[in-house]
Amino acid sequence: MGNQMSIKRRWSASAIGGIVAAAMMLSGCAGIPADVRTPMADNEMDALVAHLELSGRDEAYTLVTSDLPLPRVAEPADIAAAVRFLGSAESGYITGAVLVVDGGAHIVDLPTLAFDRLRG
């Protein structure tokens, strides 16, 4: 019984760590821009529209996601689908893993690509 409790504690710690990391990434606290359409991201896009004199919020989202392997802004439903999967029986044998839902941003160097684009 003690071994089962130890395993459950490790699973819980791993899950909490993943949730915290995801929340930090989505909120931009980790220095990574959030590419999920939320009211906070909408405000950031509105500021970008004003700063770059873009035609609107959709153009701003297109600009900031253009270097992603899946070049579109994530919708809350995209994140909810991943959470729903992890909470379902279909993920029953997954443990100690982090499911990254970022359109592939983690496999490209977004800051460098953006800087290179600005340099021309």
What is the rounded CA–CA span in Å between residue 86 and residue 74?
Answer: 18
Question: Does pTM surpass 0.85?
Answer: no
Higher pLDDT, 53 or 34: 53
Residue 102, CB half-sphere, CA atoms under 13 Å: how many?
23
Could you report the per-residue pLDDT of 97-117, keeping only the tens digit for each?
888 888 888 888 777 776 677
DSSP 102: S
Cβ distance 33 to 25 under 8 Å? Answer: no
pLDDT band at 32 (very low <50, low <70, confident <90, very high): very low
SS3 content of the chain, % helix, strand, coil (to 5): 65, 0, 35
- Give yes or no for residue 6 having a pLDDT over 90: no
